Structure 1
Amino acid sequence: MAVHNQREGMALLRAMLDEAAGGQGRGAMVTGAIATGKSELLYGFADLAAGRGALTLTAMGAPSERGLPLGVLSQLVHNAPLSAPHRSVALGLLQEAERAPAAGGPDAEAVGNIDVRMVDALSTALLDMARECPLVIVVDDLHHADRSSQLCLAYLARRSRNARLLMVVSVPDDHAQSRGLLHAEVLRRPHCRHIRLGHLSPEGVRERLAGTAGHEAAAELAARFHELSGGNRLLVDALLDDHQTAGAPAERYGEAVLGCLHRADPGAAVVAGVIAVLGSPAQSVPMLRVSEAAVSAAVRALTGAGLLLDGRFRHEAARSAVLAAMDDAERSALHRRAAELTYQDGAPATEVAGHLLLAGDPAHSWAVPVLEDAAEHALRREDGVEPAIEYLKLALRSCDDDRRRAGIATRLVRAKWRINPGISTGHLAELAAALRDGHLGGGDAVVLAKALLWHGHSDDARDVLDRLGGSALDRETMAELAAAHAWFRTGCPSFVAHLPPLDDERAGGAGHSLGAGRRLEAAEALARTLAEGPGEDTAATAERVLRSARLDEMSLDTVECALLALTYGDRTDQAAPWCDAFVAEAAARRAPSRQARLSAIRAEIHARSGDMAAAVRDARQALELISPESWGVALGGLLGTLLRADAATGRQDAFLARAEGAVPAAMLETRFGLQYLYGKARFHLATGQPAQALGDLRLCGELMEQWGLDVPEFIAWRLDAAEALIRLDEADEARLLIKDQRTRCGFRSPRVHGVALRLLAVAGEERHRIGLLRRSAELLETGGDRYELARTLADLTHAHHAAGEYRRAWLVGRRVRTLAEECDAESLAVTLPYGGDAAEAGSATVLPILSDAERRVATLAADGYSNREISSKLFITVSTVEQHLTRIYRKLNVTRRTELPLRQW
């Protein structure tokens, strides 16, 4: 069957009007999918017919008036520009027809609810009008007309062959309620035509847009709008409105979709709702318990209307609008039924769980394990943390088994921890109660203890660990405890005594799962680093763990321990790229808590490398990702890094003042307390408070010795205490601490040994100072700490200057300025004995030393002139030039002319 556009349809109707005006009755049925322009064509033609002198009667069917007898026929009469006699006759017949069924009695022949004689009389009255002038009857949406009006119009169509009458009606394609009657009574008549309209082509969309948006915008948008609308005019217009206001399909598009569904067959609208719930029509038949043919017909209708493409809504905004239009009970029931069907079909757990979430209250015993399984799968995806939390929350609400509830609550705490440790606190009391009731044990109890300790509840954490020791331990629990022992030794050493003891076999990893084995390896690597110092085997273990680690497969504790084993083992160059990769992965997985904790490690790496600006940047980011309150005791480590960076840069951090008060008192029972004390001491030293710094450092040292974590690569507290003592004029005691630190460290850490030599130079005799500082600089070059190198070189600058070696002082000072700028520690350069260029060096030091004659010779020699050229320019002998240069070299402590300052003397 040919598909017509608007222009072709109008041309056909005009031709039929001419034929009807000549006494050849005509009829036209305009069909098409929703929003193909049927109404636009009918009313446009009605105006045209009226303008050409035809008596035009119009009406529109409506679902709400299907039960109103002769409702459409009444519209035709009341809306018509009839003469008084014709109006009187027509209204009288309508009133009589409404009374006819009651007056006709049981023996009267009736068509529908109307006496057949009344039908004939009404038809006769209309035909009489057509004798005076051409009569055009236009009925839009005839499929919604009442049965009586449809029968009357069909009766009239059969008698209009030789009348000056044109009847034009519209119905949608394949409408079940209208196809039989209209096809039999209208389309099969030889004087009737079928005009089938189609949606806009891409070119048609472009032309429609051009009239409103202009040709340039139309050319740009036409293809995309056709893809989203299928050429449906309502959708095209709505898309343009949304584009102008929102830039994408939005509210108007959704409203247009609902408008199309409102005009569709009710069965098609129901199927559209099911497709919105399921995403596709695959399960519509069992969902609705209707025939496959009925569903296929509805899908065809919705596709023809431009709403669906390949069984799916063309845009998510359409699907969202359909879902939003449902009432809550209807939507929940559909999702509940969808969950049942997808579960029975063996669909993935995440698909089933998605429907369970939207249903809100799963009533089946299989729902809880499905939700747990879905959460486990979701946590492996980059964007799965938040859905996993929702799955676990619903599983927790739906579960009535206390032991299982405790396990679900533990996994929920772990999942929430990835986003923000602070939002998991609401479950801690429930888990503690489950532990007391015997419903929580094994690795879940360890998780609870760590969470309590993180939030500063140290007494509760000890209670959990003590209870764990009094219960039977299976192999899985022993595996978790083995990793926990190493973790507590490095993070919270005073809690180790409360952990159940391990036998040698299980402590060594026998029978552990792969994940538990990696956690144990990483924790042991960190423990060895903090107890014994760095080692090649330890670093190799840490790198091996990191190579096989992904944040979705392993606990963050595993990654953290491996990264810190490298960082505290003076291998920041190895740790940095790994840390960067995991920070990026945490960001991609939308796990802000993990990203924050990894950013804190990155800040520590930057601080140990001497890049203080980067250290502050990463530390601030960590504090912005999760609040100081959510950091718990771990805030101490982060603040320690910030304090050290502030000490180096010479600036007090405004952010620090807000965060400092949030540190829990339990922090001093953890490794994070050591880092906080150390950072605070460095800050006190930088702000001229050596006595306060010494107190913090001695407490830090006592705890490190007590816990067995006293390695200088982690915190070289003795060196900083020595610096405080030097400032307090206690140089002898300072030298003892430096000697002790060097003995403990040996030569395994160039960074620590280099700092020790710098302090020995400061505390020792002046005659040894330059040599010690040069050795210190050589070690720190190797150690990779640019800030400590800059401090050593700054001291070396002062030492050269004090020894009268001004040229060397200037050259070293220039290097100090470069490093200070790189480290964001420019306050170091401020203390140098002169400014940054050669002119300042000369004016401050050289001018008082050299005679006028020597300055003239030095100027030309520094500019590259030979002795003979200098002799010629100054009118002196070559021998005199050589004598001047000998004295100049001695005074400036240089050995050749290339070391002379480049300036005009």
Structure 2
Amino acid sequence: MVSACHRVTGGNPLLVHALLRELRRGGEAVGPTCEQVERLGSVEIAETVVARFRDRFPTVGRTLDAVAVTGRADSDAALVAGLAGIPRPEAADMLHTLVRCGVLQDSDEGVVFAQPMMRDSFLAALPPSEHDRLHTAAARALHAAGAPTQEVVHHLRHTPRIGGRWAYRLLFDSACAALSRNDLEEARTLLERCIQEGDAADRPELLRLLGYVDVVADAPAAAVRRLRTLEGPRHGDDTAPLTLVVNLVQAIALDGDLDGAERTARAALTGVEPTGPAQEPAAGALAVLGVLGLLTGRPRTAPPLPAAVAARTSWVRCAQAALSALTARTHGGQRAEVLHHARAGLREPVISADVPTTPLRLLLAHLLCEAGEHDEALAACRTLAAAAHAEGARTMAALAETVLAMCGYRAGRLSEAAGAARSALAEGPPGAWLGSTLARCWLGGILLDSGDLDGARRLLLDDLSLTDLPEAAVPDLLFHRGRLHAALGHIHAGIADLEECGRRLPRSPHGYDRHPWRTVAATLYAAVDDRTAAKRLAREELELARAWGAPHAVATALHTLALISNSGHRLSLLREADGLLQDSGAWLEHARVLRSLGHELLRLSKMRQAREQLRAALALAEKCGAGPLVDDLRADLTSAGARPRRVETGLDALTPAEYRTAVLAAEGLTNQEIADRLFVTRRTVELHLTRVYRKLSLSGRADLPAAVAGQVTAADHRSLRRVGTDGPASPPRTARRSTRLRPAS
């Protein structure tokens, strides 16, 4: 604070006392910030300086006002003289005297005020009408003199409408430049000024750009209010209102009112057909309407573009891809078609300063996740989140982080999902909107599986109620709250929430619900000995999952059915679920299935196989960060007669035999060559490599060299070369087990 005061006053006693009087006059209980001090001016100072020099220079007030508005005076005083309405020699003499007296000073940029507070004082004393007049005159003079664009635009920002076409072009070009460097707030200010300066022909393009900025960078509720003020009737072939409608309905949807967004779009697009010059924007707007209809359970088929004309606009193609993918998703049994359209939409190039497509792309990424392509969905979400952060589009960034949390949870990446949800809540726009509400709901579910019951309770029970939520987020809260009730021992409350979740989800004749509420409810019904309801729900889920075709969805339904079925069918159901999850990327669900498979094998007294499944489940649970499941699996392994390893993933998790096999495979040896070197069968080598790939999270043999690079020492190489005489090498672990290796014969 002291340094800020010195910076603005330069230590001048007159200015220091005036600053202190202004601070006392503020009367704030909390002291002002440094930024507030640096912007503080005193009308008293301006009047004192003018009074001191008025006898010698009657126009000193107008001259210093001009210097304050322009920020500087040229060496020839031409600009100041013109603004003050005095001859240039008189202005030059006056500036010279003011410099000698310490009011002004020479700098590299010209003549400026000696202390920043002096300039702020003259600006504070300037009447609004004089302020506008000086800025207008400065803009005209600087433009006529060929001054840099940024100097002219600085004055245009503070002027009323000038009316010259040159003013509009300078403002518009500067707004586009701000968009290109992702300075969205600056772009918004300049575009609003452009609307005042432009004419009717300029309005469509301005509305399009301003609507884009509002949606991606402002709080959704504020964006809705602003965009509604920009609405207007569509005249002739004017396509701008159509893109404005798309931006408006996206803002309404992000505010949590999907029904209101659908009604707004339907009302605005009544009678609109994708023909004529407005063909592509109309087709894109109708596709967005179709998407909203499917999301709200009121589908409406959007007319496609004529076959002879292909859409050239990226956002239109993206919207049509989203509509096609969601339509295929809603009607069930068309997983391949969903994947095709989702990937096509995500491949569309992102064009800045257009209709924002991030919500549509995130919808497509979520559809990929629902279809079982977890890794692909996560990669798409990460890319969209990084791009939005780089652009300064905080609303889109928070939405992308929210969808990343949802997809990360479904894939079992609990740590990444929790981080994304927290980022969405901390860095997104203020207030409650769809993204923040979904982030809270899913963070509660993530914390539940991570073992933080208190955190989950705060998010799902204490801080959220159905009356406070947007309707679109109610099923998400009910699903995770039902699971939380079950974890707290409130089984009937959990069942009630889960069944209400099913009732609140948009209904479709053959579609697979976006929340597997039946599987959770079935296990809860089984817990209260209502086997009839449990089997009914489990079979319904399995039928819908098989029709949908996503491997993880079918596996989850099979797992639930196995848990409530007779023991005679349990093993086959669990093995089928395990097979479906092998390459699904759904780590957490796979860990749960492997645990159940281990329990069933223990019941059948197949101890070695059971321990192998439980170890694999423990490795996946550790990767997921599922603390309660990790603890349960460690207890299971102890009960099964095994001592769980300290870690189940990474190089330290490899057994000596697995490590030797991995090193030799990384050196390029074939399976048969490894078997000959280690005096084992080829089948044993294959089994070792399978476990190595799982523990190191590798997709295949090609990833082995990088995984073991830098870990193999010279002693390891000598041991591997002598394997047959001196014994095999062991992995370089910090806490190596003391198991004695029998030398090969």
1:308-357 per-residue CA deviation (whole Å, 9 max, x = no partner) reads 11437699957964764652444433222223345556878876554233
Deviation track 1:702-748 (CA, whole Å, cap 9, x = no partner) reads x3425x7x247x555554565455444235425533541353144xx
Instruction: Note the C-alpha offset of 1:773.
Output: 3.3
Q: CA deviation at 1:805?
A: 4.2
Contact 2:412–2:587, Cα closer than 8 Å, also in 1: yes
**Comparing 806-815 and 246-255, the one that deviates more:** 246-255
Q: Structure 1 residues 725-734 or 782-791, which shifts more? A: 725-734
TM-score (norm: length of structure 2): 0.63
What residue in structure 2 maps to residue 44 of structure 1? none
Identity %: 19
Cα distance, 1:610 vs. partner? 0.9
Counterpart secondary structure, 2:540: helix
Residues 258, 321 of structure 1: 8 Å contact kept: no
Partner residue of 1:606 out of 384, 408, 420: 408
CA contact (8 A) 1:814 1:836 kept: yes
> 1:23 corresponds to which residue?
none
Structure 1 pair 475–293 and aligned structure 2 pair: CA distance change class (3 A): farther
CA–CA distance in 1 between the matches of 2:347 and 2:283? 19
Distance (Å, rounded) in 2 between the aligned partners of 1:295 and 1:835: 91
Residue aligning to 1:741:
544
Match of 2:443 among 619, 624, 642: 642
> Deviations 1:438-466 (Å, cap 9, x if unpaired)?
99943333444444454538468526623
Which amino acid in 2 is paired with 1:609?
A
Counterpart among 243, 263, 275 of residue 443 in structure 1 = 243
**Which residue is equivalent to 2:496?**
692
Aligned counterpart, 1:658:
463
Task: Note if 1:594 corresponds to 2:396.
Answer: yes
CA distance, structure 1, for counterparts of residue 195 and residue 353 of structure 2: 25
Is the alpha carbon distance of 1:793 and 1:341 closer, same or farther for their aligned partners in structure 2, counting shifts above 3 Å?
farther
After superposition, the C-alpha distances for 1:587-636 in whole angstroms (9 at most, x for unaligned) are 3444322222111112112212212243233223323445685415x666
| Corresponding position: 1:820 with 2:621 | yes
Structure 1 pair 371–423 and aligned structure 2 pair: CA distance change class (3 A): farther
CA distance in structure 1 between the partners assigned to 2:86 and 2:300 by the alignment: 62
Residues 302 and 827 of structure 1: CA distance in aligned 2, closer, same or farther (over 3 Å): farther
**Alignment match, 1:15:** none
Q: How does 1:816-855 map to 2 (within 5 A)?
A: 816-832=617-633, 834=635, 841=642
Equivalent position of 2:605 in the other structure = 804
What pairs with 1:476-875 in structure 2 (closer than 5 Å)? Answer: 477-493=278-294, 502=303, 504-505=305-306, 510=310, 512-521=312-321, 524=324, 528=328, 532-534=334-336, 537-538=340-341, 540-545=343-348, 548=350, 554-626=356-428, 630-632=432-434, 637-638=438-439, 640-650=441-451, 651=453, 652-656=456-460, 657-661=462-466, 663=468, 666-667=471-472, 675=476, 678-683=479-484, 686-687=487-488, 688-689=491-492, 691-692=495-496, 694-696=498-500, 698-699=502-503, 703-706=506-509, 710-711=511-512, 714-716=514-516, 719-720=519-520, 722-723=522-523, 726-727=526-527, 728-730=530-532, 732-734=535-537, 736-746=539-549, 749-770=550-571, 772-806=573-607, 808-810=609-611, 812-832=613-633, 834=635, 841=642
Q: Distance in 2 between matches of 1:249 and 1:639?
A: 35
**1:465 corresponding residue in structure 2:** 266
Q: Is 1:311 aligned to residue 110 of structure 2?
A: yes
Residue correspondences, number: 600
Work out the CA distance in 1 between the residues paired with 2:314 and 2:39.
54
Q: 1 CA distance for matches of 2:643 and 2:249?
A: 66
C-alpha contact 1:725 1:733 (8 A) present in aligned 2: no
State the 1:833 CA deviation. Answer: 8.1
Give the Cα–Cα distance (whole angstroms) in 2 for the partners of residues 348 and 719 of structure 1: 67
Distance 2:242 2:303 in 1: 14
Q: Deviations over 1:217-270 (max 9, x none)?
A: xxxxxxxx9xx99xx9989x99xx9xxx99999859999x99999899969997
Amino acid at match of 2:155: H
Distance 1:561 1:320, change over 3 A: farther
- The answer on whether the counterparts of 1:794 and 1:828 sit within 8 Å (CA) in structure 2 is no
Cα distance in structure 2, aligned partners of 1:463 and 1:625? 29
Matches within 5 A, 1:31-50: none
Give, in whole Å, the separation in 2 of the partners of 1:719 and 1:343: 70
Q: Aligned residue for 1:390?
A: 189
| Residues 512, 544 of structure 2: 8 Å contact kept | no
The answer to whether residue 221 in structure 2 is matched with residue 422 in structure 1 is: yes
- Matches of 1:500 and 1:751 in 2, distance apart? 30
The residue identity in structure 1 corresponding to 2:463 is R
Q: 1:246 to 1:395 in 2, by over 3 A?
A: closer
Q: Which whole-Å CA distance do the structure 2 matches of 1:592 and 1:577 have between them? A: 19
Partner of 2:158, secondary structure, is helix
Q: Is the 8 A contact 2:67 2:80 kept in 1?
A: yes
- Structure 2 counterpart of 1:756, one-letter code: A
Alignment of 1:324-363 (within 5 A): 324=123, 327-329=126-128, 330-342=130-142, 352-359=152-159, 361-362=160-161
| 1:545 aligned counterpart, secondary structure | coil
Counterparts of 2:336 and 2:34 in 1: how far apart (Å)? 57
Shift of the 813–636 alpha-carbon distance from structure 1 to 2, 3 Å rule, reads same
**Displacement of 1:419 after TM fit?**
2.0
Q: Measure, in 2, the Cα distance between the counterparts of 1:346 and 1:469.
A: 50
1:445–1:464 Cα contact (<8 Å) kept:
yes
Deviation at 1:288, TM superposition (A): 4.8
The equivalent residue for 1:10 is none
How many angstroms apart in 2 are the aligned matches of 1:364 and 1:831?
74
CA 1:465/1:542 → structure 2, altered by over 3 Å: closer, same or farther?
A: closer
Cα shift readout 1:834-863 (whole Å, capped 9, x = no counterpart) = 3666997589xxxxxxxxxxxxxxxxxxxx
Label 1:705 to 1:524 Cα distance change in 2 as closer, same or farther (>3 A): closer
Amino acid at match of 1:598: A
Q: Distance in 2 between matches of 1:678 and 1:592?
A: 28
Larger Rg: 1
CA deviation vs aligned residue, 1:135-180 (integer Å, no higher than 9, x gap): xxxxxxxxxxxxxxxxxxxxxxxxxxxxxxxxxxxxxxxxxxxxxx
Decide whether the 8 Å contact of 2:563 with 2:570 is kept in 1: yes
Distance change (3 Å), C-alpha of 1:692 and 1:302: same
C-alpha distance in 2, partners of 1:316/1:595? 41
Q: 1:460 to 1:519 in 2, by over 3 A?
A: closer
Specify the code of the residue in structure 2 equivalent to 1:456.
Answer: D
1:500–1:294 CA distance, 2 compared to 1 (3 A): farther
- Aligned-pair distance for 1:788? 1.0
- One-letter amino acid of the counterpart of residue 366, structure 2: L
Q: Is the 8 A contact 1:357 1:394 kept in 2?
A: yes
Tell me the SS of whatever aligns to 1:469: coil
Specify whether residues 500 and 824 from structure 1 end up closer, same or farther in structure 2 by C-alpha distance, changes over 3 A only: closer
Q: Distance between the aligned counterparts of 1:485 and 1:630, measured in 2?
A: 28
Match of 1:377 in 2: 176
Is the 2:39–2:117 Cα contact (8 Å) retained in structure 1? no
Looking at structure 2, the residues matched to 249 and 385 of structure 1 have their Cα atoms a distance apart, in angstroms, of 24
